[in-house]
A and B are shown apart, each in its own frame.
Chain A
Amino acid sequence: MIGESTPRPDGDAKARGRFSYTGDLWAPGLLWCVLVRSPHRHARILGVDAGAAYAVPGVRGVVTAADLPAGACHGAIVADRPVLADGVVRFAGEAVAAVAAETLQAARAGAAAVLVSYQPLEPAVDPEHAFAGPPLHPDGNVLRHIALRHGRPVRVRRDGTPVEEVVVEGLYEVPAQYQANPATDAALALPSPDGGVELHVATPYPHADRDQVAECLGLPAGMVRLMPTGAGGSGGSREDVGLTTVVGLLALRTGRPVKAVLDRDESLRAGGHRHAARMKYTHRADRDGRLLAVEAQIILDGGAYAGVSPEVIGRLIGCAAGPYMVPYAAVDAWAVRTNNAPAGAMRGPGAVQVCFAHEAQMDKLADALGMDPVELRLRNALSTGTMLTTGQVLDGPVPVGAALRAVAEAAPPAAPPAPGTLRGTGYAVGLMPLLGIEGADESSTATVRLDGGVVTVTCAAVEVGQGFVTLVRQIVDEVLGVPDAIVLQAGTALPTAGAPGVGRHTWLTAGAVEQAAREIRERLLAPVAARYGMTARLLDVRDGRIRSYDGLIDLPVDVMYEDTATVTTAGACRAPSTEPLDDAGQGNAYPAVAFSACRVVVDLDPELGTIRVVDVTGAYDAGRVLDPAQARVRVESSVAMGVGLALTEDAESVWAPPGPWDVPQVRVAAWIEEPQPGAPFGAKGLGDAAIVPVPAALAAAVRNATGLELPRLPMRPRDVVVD
């Protein structure tokens, strides 16, 4: 039932290690595929000699760019990334060739035997240098630039006297963050008798992957079938289309099933991580703490290929000033091509980075004004009817003030600081545009079939760990009173459910399911209602009974099904339409925006620089909580990811994910349940908005404890030692 906690169907198997991931799949005659990756960040490929690889016992096939149609490139937005590097490698870890062999060991030995001669070129690893440097790709080095200009500078008050400005500036850096999906990217390809290929991949977006793979293989889309498999988590980007294509190509070449599973080290180098960002901010406010202007220059390191960088810039630009009313904004945001691994989307893409900067600025401003940081934020908070700096008027719920007040008023942690430690408290608020933005054609479909009391839902949306299957069952239970619907993942056999993430399936696919289920309900309840001279609307289906509003009718739910053998209906749900941002970054680009606030309390050992996160208290703009347990999981995982970015994950050193000892119990000060108009049950996706303020609030808490400036993440022990 909606609003109740339901156990996840895959939870037990995953906890016990019995869940079948792509890497666990097997087919008779299976070959293993291992990629040959570039050790150079930037180099010309002078030649690839696979002769020695074929001499390795068990090797059945080696492919390079020459085996693909000329210019076989893929990319989420712009197809600029070669499936296998063609003539030039642009990041260390880029795939140059692939080997298929009878065993994994033979494939690894074969890959090691492929001789690639490189002529190293000067790599551009700093986005500020790549920005104006020689082009690393025929498409140039600027992946997208938005020069947002909004409003007018405020120089005089209403009474004509000049405004007295308080100005704070800062330079901030956020590193790349690896998603560390529990199961790494993998694919199994089976050659089909028709000359096509069947791909088993844990992709959240089967249609886009299918189309790109078909294009790269030079096959009609119909000859590539893509079946979603059990996904081992998805922090945003999942499944490298290049890998899927290569595995498909090797299956076509060898006529045998081929499987590839990335190891953790490959996965770390292959890209798809959160964009590293460098941000320069200037905030101006009047003496009363009202924001007058936000100016910023933001550079994202897009890595070697465009990926989703243009879209991340589109999301980031609307969040750059924070959830505040800003009369004048001048924000330039660039995504720049470099010789680093291509960035992807990770929970809260774009918004997490700018939140770290704009919230640090708000604290600096509060300090300069001698004002309480919470009070300063409340004074400037967005509310319904106010405007983002993209010029979009917010017509949905905008509970910035409510969320911030909830965390500020929540009881502080009961335990006193550990002896010898400094306690610090920090606050942050963030916003996150949901769904596809800037005119993305956002719709999703689902089919609901009722057969003798058994409900089967078929949709192209993929369960990647977000709890979508549970949600569909809850909706069917809520509308039709059938608690255990069967949810089938259709892969590319059904029309697309669209790009996943940022709350999409919670809204659109769930909306399609709800609509189809409601139609069935109307159709089946109408005859029952008619018998009693009522309309179906006056009847309620709950706990296996059909009851009327006045309690006069109380029938077993089975009467609904007795006259009809099977009913099948399809539902579709479309997001509010949006438009691309113009050159000045203006336009109604976002279908909806979600907000969250966070308070973090830390105890810091000033001598050792060790930080213990004592308490994380959050308030979340949920629209409606559909399943409290699932909602908590979304929030807790977001906090863990946020702690990792803020404290442990140092991109320049050994990758160290946060452990359970780094993350405290998360307290929810408030689920703010103002329904989002147009969304099914008024609910919004939670995970993306929930992570946005976490690193910012953690940094604020450590600043509060130490008085240090701490302009970059992660905050390593040696950065926070106070002598």
Chain B
Amino acid sequence: MDATILMPLSLDEAVDALARDPRALPVAGGTDLMPRVNAELVRPSALVGLAKVADLRRWGYEDGFAMLGAGLTWARLADADLAALVPALAAAANEVGTAQVRAMGTLGGNILASGRPADSLPVLAALEATVSCRSPGGVREVAPHLLEPRSGPIAEQLLRPGELITGVRVPLLRGVQEFVKAPVGAGRYLTLALVAGPVVGDVRCAVGGAHPGPVRAFEAERWLAGRMDARSGRLSDARDAADFGRLVADEVRPEAEQRAARAHLRHVVAVCARRAVQRAFGG
């Protein structure tokens, strides 16, 4: 590889380096990018190493939101303090790859990873979190759940050339958060994040691994919200969980080449959704 390697020491330097050369790529843990660079699937003119940018690894509160730096590793996101803040993200972190990948792989890198996103993005979409994309001109907040999950790589919709993901802004919710992950063969996974907010009737559900982006099941969410008892927040019927699962599967329609594989994926989505509801609401 003939690329230049830059090691900026601050966020501003990193953003400037990326803005100067739109073909440069940022690299943090490198668990997803470096294999692609080595196989020449991507040919960046420069790599901007983020290891020395401490600002990317910070986190904090900001009026009802948790600000998580893009450089936080999976291992860090699974720690007890962050797990208490955003339980679904910690649950997702615990099911990523091997210990080595969790030690190196970062939140920002996962948002931009190749393939069908199945780890952080469905959680962020369910939480209605926003991703902070920074360029020398300023910061743009993008909400993954408002993108077009079925129309091509989500990273391209999310980030403009020359921008750097600096972190995510996650609303702090008092409700329940569930994350379910299931292998479906050939190294592929389906995931489902379910969030039941502090207000009765606030239910959000996103599916990962089914399409190029995380897919929200808005109609199924509304249906489930309507089945919740206005005072207790409980579901009206024990069969609601299974019905919700079928509705989510119908709405999400995971993609696969073969019909048999497609049928299995729909079945898995339905089971994951049912289980998430059962865990969240009991029963």
Contact = CB atoms under 8 A, between A and B. Distances in A.
B185 A716 contact: yes
Contacts of A265: 39
Contacts of B187: 648, 654, 656
B75 to A, nearest CB: 15
A103 to B, nearest CB: 9
Contact of A718 (B40, B98, B184): B184
Interface stretch (B13-21, B59-67, B263-271): B263-271
Given A607-B271, A718-B184, A718-B185, A659 B98 contact: yes
Nearest to A263: B39
Interface residue range, chain B: 20 to 34
A126 to B, nearest CB: 19
Interface string B155-196: 000000000000000000000000000111111100000000
B185 A661 contact: no
A310 to B, nearest CB: 33
Contact of A717 (B97, B185, B272): B185
B98 A717 contact: no
B34 interface: no
B260 A717 contact: no
B199 interface: no
Given A653-B186, A656-B186, A718-B260, A108 B98 contact: no
Given A607-B271, A717-B183, A660 B39 contact: no
Contacts of B5: none
A717 B39 contact: no
A661 B268 contact: no
A718 B261 contact: yes
A716 B265 CA distance: 12
Nearest to B270: A607
Interface string A646-683: 00101001101001110000000000000000000000
B103 to A, nearest CB: 13
A607 B267 CA distance: 9
Given A607-B271, A650-B185, A721 B98 contact: no
B97 A608 contact: no
Interface string B22-65: 00000000000000000110000000000000000000000000
Nearest to B180: A608
A421 interface: no
A610 interface: yes
B73 to A, nearest CB: 18
A190 B260 CA distance: 52
Contact of A108 (B40, B185, B267, B268): B40
Contact of A610 (B39, B182, B263): B182
A41 B264 CA distance: 31
Contacts of B271: 607-608
Contacts of A716: 185-186
A434 B109 CA distance: 48
B186 A650 contact: yes
A213 to B, nearest CB: 29
Contacts of B183: 610, 717
B182 A660 contact: no
Interface in A254-277: 263-265
Nearest to A653: B186
Interface SS of chain B = mixed
Interface residue range, chain A: 20 to 34
Given A648-B187, A650-B185, A656-B187, A661 B98 contact: yes
A659 B185 CA distance: 13
B185 A653 contact: yes
A105 B184 CA distance: 36
Nearest to A719: B185
Contact of A608 (B2, B188, B268): B268
Interface string A694-718: 0000000000000000000000111
Contact of A721 (B186, B261, B267): B267
Nearest to B274: A607
Nearest to A654: B186
A653 B260 CA distance: 13
Interface string A582-621: 0000000000000000000000000111100000000000
A718 B186 contact: no
A568 B233 CA distance: 86
Contacts of B98: 659-661
A105 B43 CA distance: 11
Contacts of A607: 271
Contacts of B182: 608, 610, 717
A73 B237 CA distance: 72
Contacts of B264: 609, 717-718, 721
Contacts of A610: 182-183
A656 B264 CA distance: 18
B262 to A, nearest CB: 10
Interface in B231-271: 260-261, 263-264, 267-268, 271
Nearest to A264: B39
Contacts of B97: 659
A648 B267 CA distance: 20
A32 to B, nearest CB: 13
Interface string A56-90: 00000000000000000000000000000000000
Contacts of B261: 718
Contacts of B184: 717-718
A119 B141 CA distance: 54
A397 B21 CA distance: 69
A687 B113 CA distance: 37
Contacts of B185: 650, 653, 656, 716-718
Nearest to B267: A721
A699 B264 CA distance: 21
Interface of A: 105, 108, 263-265, 607-610, 648, 650, 653-654, 656, 659-661, 716-718, 721
16 contacts: A105-B2, A263-B39, A608-B271, A610-B182, A648-B186, A650-B185, A653-B186, A654-B186, A654-B188, A656-B185, A661-B98, A716-B185, A717-B264, A717-B268, A718-B185, A718-B263
Interface of B: 2, 39-40, 97-98, 182-188, 260-261, 263-264, 267-268, 271-272
Given A654-B186, A660-B98, A718-B185, 19 more contacts: A105-B40, A264-B39, A265-B39, A607-B271, A608-B182, A608-B268, A608-B271, A610-B182, A610-B183, A648-B186, A648-B187, A650-B185, A654-B187, A656-B186, A661-B98, A717-B185, A717-B268, A718-B260, A718-B264
Task: Pick the 7 closest A-B CB pairs, nearest first.
Answer: A656-B187, A718-B264, A653-B186, A716-B185, A654-B186, A607-B271, A608-B182
